[in-house]
């Protein structure tokens, strides 16, 4: 199920990944919910004041920056001071990209495929964590780069503990 794959993505994030740049790439995916091509397109210039500005993506086939998937995809994502420090300490490639040497296919093959999950599951996990933490849906949608309908129908999973808590609130009303 999607929930199992999302949980597996969370487990992979916590596992040991040998290559430090790949480990940082996975951390960025997990903590930002960015699409793989968006994360590959991050440059040092996109990081400021504990925020990543998503304003382009990287096309792996053509080896060049590309426009984003949708207008909603252009956004700012809050990040921790720790993640900001790690990103800003990287030596970028000639095009300014931080993850110029990362291979999402290798990360998938070595760390995700054995758990029957994918890089995109980090996005699902991130969205689920935002919503289950009580982040307003309009804000969550802006951070994820989608509309509210897509966030609810595609990226969020029902958290059973949250569901029980919300049911208790409904019962208390009556």
| CA 75/CA 51 separation, integer angstroms | 10
Q: What is the pLDDT along the chain (174 residues), one digit of tens a residue?
A: 555 555 665 566 666 677 899 999 999 999 999 999 999 999 999 999 999 999 999 999 999 999 998 999 999 999 999 999 999 999 999 999 999 988 899 999 988 888 888 899 899 889 988 988 889 999 999 999 999 998 888 876 666 677 788 888 899 998
Token pair belonging to 5: 């794959």
Q: What is the pTM of this model?
A: 0.84
Token pair belonging to 114: 């054995």
What's residue 3's pLDDT?
Answer: 52
């Amino acid at each position: 199920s999607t929930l199992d794959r999302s949980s597996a993505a969370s487990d992979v994030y916590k596992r040991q990944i040998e290559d430090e740049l790949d480990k940082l790439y996975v951390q960025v995916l997990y903590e930002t919910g960015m699409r793989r091509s968006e994360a590959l397109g991050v440059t040092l210039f996109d990081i400021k004041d504990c925020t990543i500005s998503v304003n382009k993506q990287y096309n792996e086939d053509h080896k060049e920056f590309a426009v984003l998937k949708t207008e909603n995809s252009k956004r700012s994502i809050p990040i921790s001071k720790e993640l900001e420090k790690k990103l800003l300490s990287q030596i970028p490639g000639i095009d300014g990209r931080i993850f110029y040497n990362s291979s999402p296919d290798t990360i998938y093959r070595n760390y995700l495929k054995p758990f029957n999950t994918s890089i995109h599951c980090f996005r699902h996990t991130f969205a689920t964590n935002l919503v289950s933490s009580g982040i307003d849906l309009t804000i969550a949608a802006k951070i994820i780069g989608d509309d509210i309908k897509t966030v609810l129908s595609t990226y969020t999973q029902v958290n059973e503990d949250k569901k029980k808590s919300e049911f208790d609130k409904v019962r208390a009303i009556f």
